[in-house]
């Protein structure tokens, strides 16, 4: 790999998933992993295999399915059991990496590990060596590296490389560094560690002070050639460095950085929407690169400049990041081939079962709306992909009727279709009615009664997908059910229906876990 090529190490499925409420099941992780491969990510940190049987299963399946398209990495503490689990999982594929980490800063040594510097070095060396016995590609991270004494950091990095580490990662674990300070640390390692040329230096920056991307770019200027990042910048606390921002900064300011990546930038917006839908963490409108306002211009002065020359106020072209605007797309007479072709242009590759359901929803939407936009089509697809990860959800809505007003009691009557547990089994129809504080609350109560699961609603967000009174509405809900946070998304021109679909999607997740706890 040339010296100007940056390795993109995506940790959405590991560090990103640690963000509160962002947990994913195995099917969802596989879908995100496939999207990351399509995006051109070099290394996918697929999870922490020793953490649970579910994590081990997810990392193993990702390695089996995508290990020929990207390096699949498993995280491990400097413990034999962790290392063995990570190696067992990632070696299911062609290209596996074990990423071992051990805290090195004084505050972590004293208060968390209660280990001396000598013990830290001994443990780090032994762990890297054990990992090296299983895989050729070994990464070592001195956790909280930025707050580690410089001489000791150099010693640990040098010993880890001697033990066989091919990548050394320098985490700013608590987001404390400034860009100049982080630059100085990477530069110091380049100049002071005698064997540093035998390993790739990696960055891993957190966003506690809003400087994760700036620090990452500073690390690259100092000589790092791998960046650890996540889609939409999700992660613990304030999150990680955002992949899309790093990639587009390098591309847009290639005159300054002179560095390249293997990322297909036209896939950035679709992958951002996918991760936002799967995790339930919506992308803020003003999010750099992939937010809805990233290419919107409200100021009259800006609009005038844009009409004369888009380059006056746009440093990136919307199409370069796969941005979905409001271009008119298709009508109710459009055929399946045309709709599928448009989805492909928007960055989606649905399987036959998923497409059949989305196409049916598209035809229904086209009957209701005067105009159907690209963003509407993308919303239908995202709502489907943000589901349980299976095309065979147990419960679906057959019919919904509500009544409410300033007088009388709000009521909802629902019919749900229950899919058979086994192929060839009998489909059942369930009907029930409930009252509530309003029509949406009544819908939720009826759904809970039919399915037999109660959930505590923690968040309910409504937004329009496009413009106009008949705009498609999107509802995202987060509820606590079955001992876990659940996310659901629904879209419809009827916001009550959208809310019911979102709540049902979340209950389907809880029901799936109830039927299959493993």
Angle at the Cα of 372 from the Cα atoms of 366 and 377, rounded to 5 degrees: 95
Residue 391 annotated as lining a ligand binding site: no
DSSP string for 128-145: HHHHHHH-SEEEEEEETG
Determine the Cα–Cα distance for residues 440 and 454; give it in Å rounded to an integer.
15
Residue 240 annotated as lining a ligand binding site: yes
**Is 242 in contact with 232 (CB distance < 8 Å)?**
yes
Residue located via tokens 């491990």: 76
Nearest to 135 by CA among 203, 49, 40, 261: 49
**Is 503 in contact with 511 (CB distance < 8 Å)?**
no
Determine the Cα–Cα distance for residues 323 and 514; give it in Å rounded to an integer.
38
Determine the Cα–Cα distance for residues 282 and 276; give it in Å rounded to an integer.
5
Residue 256 annotated as lining a ligand binding site: no
SS (H, E, C) 61-120: HHHHHHCCCCEEEEEEECCHHHHHHHHHHHCCCCCEEEEEEEECCHHHHHHHHCCCHHHH
Nearest to 494 by CA among 366, 328, 368: 368
Residue 111 annotated as lining a ligand binding site: no
DSSP string for 427-439: -EEEEEEEE-SSH
Annotated binding residues? 15, 204, 206, 240
Annotated binding residues for Mn(2+)? 15, 204, 206, 240
């Amino acid at each position: 790999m040339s010296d100007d090529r940056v390795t993109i190490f995506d940790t959405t499925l590991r560090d990103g998933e640690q963000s509160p409420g962002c947990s994913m099941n195995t099917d969802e992780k596989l879908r995100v992993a496939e999207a990351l491969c399509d995006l051109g990510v070099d290394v996918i940190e697929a999870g922490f295999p020793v953490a649970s049987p579910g994590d081990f299963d997810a990392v193993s399946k990702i390695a089996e399915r995508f290990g020929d398209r990207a390096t699949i990495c498993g995280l491990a503490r400097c413990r034999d059991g962790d290392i063995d689990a990570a190696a067992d999982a990632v070696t299911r594929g062609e290209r596996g990496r074990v990423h071992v980490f051990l805290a090195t800063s004084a505050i972590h040594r004293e208060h968390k590990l209660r280990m001396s510097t000598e013990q830290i070095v001994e443990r780090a060396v032994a762990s890297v060596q054990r990992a090296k016995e299983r895989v050729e590609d070994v990464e070592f991270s001195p956790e909280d590296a930025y707050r580690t004494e410089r001489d000791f950091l150099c010693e640990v990095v040098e010993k880890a490389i001697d033990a066989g580490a091919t990548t050394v990662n320098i985490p700013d674990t608590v987001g404390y560094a400034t860009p100049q300070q982080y630059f100085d640390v990477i530069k110091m390692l380049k100049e002071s560690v005698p064997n540093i040329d035998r390993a790739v230096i990696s960055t891993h920056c957190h966003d506690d002070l809003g400087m994760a991307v700036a620090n990452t770019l500073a690390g690259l200027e100092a000589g790092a050639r791998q960046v650890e990042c996540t889609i939409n910048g999700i992660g613990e606390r304030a999150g990680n460095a955002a992949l899309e921002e790093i990639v587009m900064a390098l591309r847009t300011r290639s005159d300054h950085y002179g560095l390249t990546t293997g990322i297909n930038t036209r896939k950035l917006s679709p992958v951002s929407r996918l991760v936002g839908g799967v995790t339930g963490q919506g992308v803020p409108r003003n999010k750099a690169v992939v937010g809805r306002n990233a290419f919107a211009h409200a100021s009259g002065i800006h609009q005038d400049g844009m009409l004369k020359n888009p380059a006056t106020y746009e440093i990136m072209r919307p199409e370069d990041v796969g941005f979905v605007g409001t271009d008119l797309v298709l009508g109710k007479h459009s055929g399946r081939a045309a709709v599928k072709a448009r989805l492909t242009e928007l960055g989606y590759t649905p399987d036959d079962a998923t497409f059949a359901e989305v196409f049916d929803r598209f035809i229904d939407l086209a009957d209701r709306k005067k105009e159907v936009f690209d963003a509407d089509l993308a919303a239908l697809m995202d709502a489907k992909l943000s589901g349980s990860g299976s095309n065979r959800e147990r419960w679906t809505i057959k019919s919904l009727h509500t009544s409410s007003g300033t007088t009388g009691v709000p009521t909802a009557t629902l019919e749900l279709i229950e899919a058979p547990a086994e192929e060839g089994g009998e489909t059942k129809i369930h009907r029930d009615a409930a009252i509530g504080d309003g029509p949406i609350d009544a819908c939720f109560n009826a759904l809970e009664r039919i399915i037999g699961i109660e959930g505590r609603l923690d968040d309910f967000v409504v937004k329009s997908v496009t413009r106009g009174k008949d705009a498609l509405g999107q509802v995202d809900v987060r509820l606590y059910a079955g001992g876990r946070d659940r996310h659901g998304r629904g879209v419809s021109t009827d916001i009550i229906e959208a809310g019911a679909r979102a709540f049902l999607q979340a209950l389907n997740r809880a029901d799936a876990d109830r039927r299959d706890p493993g």
